[in-house]
Copies of this chain bind each other. A is one copy, B any other.
């Protein structure tokens, strides 16, 4: 397909023109040219600037048509009113894909902006050019050195993103990076004047480097096609979708963001039910769910075995599970008898579910690993959740070393368990302890253990994975 060919060019261009290239490259506001240079893009960069002859050490040209060599891809970073002219130049030059960074189109809600957007649409009808945007951040592809933020990880991974918001990705990607997630290809596509969610998701569905997809959409202009692409993709690659503007008020906010048609809540409810896409409600939740799809994998059912503090904390965790559609069943008599052997009947200890393994509260005793194995082997259990609260024990001499040790116990134990393990390392109330706990989380995430900061986040993510796998097994 011609269109897939074009997208390959966008993700792996041999040469890029930056139209509106600025020399003003400093810490406060990095220019597109400076960003490509710093992030390690190795292709040719052609700064386009009406006045300058050099930009950041590169020869600059007054327009793309003045460049003697062929150009694959262009980033347009000029005032919106100048975009039509620049775009005509790009067509004349034979550029295949253009990313329009500039805002000031239909999303403004003003007549002028809408007219400008229409003008761009008529211009591209004339040529073979394809547009990403306008009003967006474009592409992040660590493998080829493309990015819209130099803080993003330079390592490649298996998660692809298709997003109408760029600002949201400025936060989501570093947060996901800190949680051990690496990305294959990310597209921020804004107003979707030409290329839309359908094209991008289809591209990632066929992309060998991408195994999981997250999609932030405000509206789609080809609902039926998008429906089919997402449903097909979900057979092999989980698709997480955050639909912005699902509520009445939110749908008003959408029109002022990307001028998309938001669609009704009922339609989207049916969409999620029938495509199997994993629905998330916020960008924070999206990060948690990305961790779950990548690190947790298949779970066979909704019955969870909890190894945590008991008492009221266990009661609340059980309520949270039930509200999320998970079950916290009683363990078999056999399991309880085995647990009793390693768990002293002291205040707070419990051999029910949630289980509290008294002697292994820091997670470092041999009993702890043994207890996790017993719970996992119980025939009533599909998935095990282990909750550690290291900060509760820091006053009792637990420090960074012990916290790292318990992370290692969980990593080692996860490999021996007969059921998937989810870990929760809750965060303390002082920055020192939080630092130790985040470090332990990072180690565990890098080792492939799905790890969360709150029981609530873990349970929500697990319940959505259970639903996804029910859908996938039903196909």
B-binding residues in A (CB < 8 A): 27-29, 101-104, 108, 135, 149-151, 163-168, 170-171, 174-175, 177-178, 216, 218, 242, 244-250, 252-254, 256-258, 281-284, 309-316, 318-323, 327-328, 330, 345-348, 350, 352, 354, 389, 391-392, 395-397, 426, 428-431, 434-435, 438-439, 454-456
Contact = CB atoms under 8 A, between A and B. Distances in A.
Contacts of A108: 345
A284 B429 CA distance: 12
Contact of A250 (B216, B242, B318): B318
Contacts of A282: 316, 320, 455-456
Contact of A316 (B102, B283, B352): B283
A245 B319 contact: yes
Stoichiometry (number of copies): 2
A316 B152 CA distance: 23
Contacts of A27: 395-397
A244 B319 contact: yes
Contacts of A430: 178
Closest 9 CB pairs of A and B: A165-B312, A247-B322, A250-B319, A103-B347, A178-B429, A244-B315, A253-B318, A168-B312, A249-B322
B135 A313 contact: no
Contacts of A164: 312
B171 A389 contact: yes
Nearest to A428: B174
Contact of A431 (B216, B245, B254, B435): B435
A226 B455 CA distance: 30
B257 A311 contact: yes
A165 to B, nearest CB: 2
A8 to B, nearest CB: 26
Nearest to A314: B253
A18 to B, nearest CB: 16
Contact of A249 (B244, B257, B328, B397): B328
B29 A321 contact: no
A330 B395 CA distance: 50
Indicate the member of A151, A257, A320, A428 with the most B CB atoms within 10 Å. Answer: A257
Contacts of A391: 171, 174
A396 B250 CA distance: 30
A167 B310 contact: yes
A218 B310 CA distance: 14
B170 A392 contact: yes
Indicate the member of A252, A311, A321 with the most B CB atoms within 10 Å. Answer: A311
Given A164-B312, A256-B352, 9 more contacts: A28-B397, A101-B347, A165-B312, A167-B310, A244-B316, A249-B327, A257-B315, A283-B312, A431-B435
Given A282-B456, A284-B454, A345-B108, A254 B315 contact: yes
B244 A312 contact: yes
Contacts of A310: 167, 256-257
Nearest to A286: B316
Contact of A104 (B257, B345, B392): B345
Contacts of A175: 429
